[in-house]
Amino acid sequence: MIPNIFGLDPQVILIAIAVGMFIWLTLYKLDKTGIGDKFVNKLIVIVIISATTLIMGMVFFDCFWHAVDNNYFQKLPNTLKEYGLIDALFSDYKPDAEGPSVGFFKQGGMTFLGALYGAFFGYVISYWFIFKHERSKIIHYLNIILPGLILAHGLGRIGCFLSGCCTGIKAPFPLGFKFPYAPVPANPSASYIDPRINDVLPANLYEGIFLIGLFFILFFALKKNQTKVYMVSYGTFRFFLEFLRGDSRGAVPLLRHIPFLSWISPSQFLSFILLIVGILLFIFEDKLSNYLKKWDRPIIKKTKQASEN
């Protein structure tokens, strides 16, 4: 939508602001809980681990869906034999005129839902081992962290709007418009609607507005249930937003061969799972917390005499 600012992609600028806001809001919320510096430091470690798995999931999932769509895995044995593992993962040249890029990590770009699942995975695993004494409160602390992540995601989507990525289907002006500075997609051979030459819906702007609105609801209006409300509301919104997206969506491995389900995009598949998990939490969260209490390990404080012995 707009050119680079001081040599930086506007999306990069918004993402930097989003990360800063996420860190500030998370620390602010944790300070309000009064849990103490020791536990805050542990949660910061968990957030760092979750951020790492977020980045991994953000890249891996999108590359995986497009690799499936491009029949990458069927060609993988021959690729490994002819080019080796490094090229099979990272090379961006083509083995033949019609084949996909060789490298797995050149198949796609980045996807937020992949990042979200990566972050959830990192959070659950790291929380389980770091907060052994409060495993039953795993959702409670996620409620504290989540609003900042939602705001960061919303600002990131505004960055997408300014950069011209993650755009929608064709639509006549003024409903749609061109994004002359939109980036070339990670996989140019994939089918997508080029927003540089077509008037398209600003699907990225719709999502950004929805997420920022959701942040204000969760941060200022709700005292609990943030995780459940987010999963159900965003899962539903994102599922239907996918019908308006005009960029390449990839394919779901098992569903792509089922005629009446082949239309489901990977993001719709992951959104549906997010929705179902949210509904299940509404029904079973109390039972889950009671079950996890069995796994809480009390903190053993060493006395001075015991330490001397």
User: 177 by DSSP, 3-state: which?
Assistant: strand
Residue 112 CA to residue 271 CA, distance in Å, equals: 11
Instruction: Indicate the DSSP class of residue 258.
Output: S
Note the pLDDT of residue 97: 42
**Can you read off the two tokens belonging to residue 304?**
């001075």
Conformation bin of residue 237: beta by default, left when phi > 0, alpha when psi is -120 to 50: alpha
φ, ψ (nearest 5 deg) of residue 8: -110, 140
Residue 172 CA to residue 200 CA, distance in Å, equals: 7
Nearest to 214 by CA among 167, 272, 166, 155: 155
Tokens 């960029």 identify what position? 247
pTM here is 0.83
Residues paired with residue 8 on neighbouring β-strands, in sequence order: 5
∠ CA 303-304-307, nearest 5°, is: 85
Residue 243 CA to residue 179 CA, distance in Å, equals: 19
Note the pLDDT of residue 238: 95
User: Is-contact 104 55, C-beta < 8 A?
Assistant: no
Residue 62 CA to residue 65 CA, distance in Å, equals: 5
pLDDT in single tens digits along all 309 residues of the chain: 555 555 567 777 887 888 888 888 888 887 777 776 777 888 888 888 988 898 888 888 888 877 877 788 888 888 888 888 888 888 876 555 445 567 888 877 777 788 888 889 999 999 999 988 889 999 998 998 899 889 989 998 998 888 888 888 999 988 998 988 887 765 555 557 888 888 999 999 999 999 999 999 999 888 889 999 999 999 999 999 999 988 777 678 778 778 888 888 888 998 999 999 999 999 999 999 999 998 888 766 655 555 554
Looking at residue 22, its amino acid is F
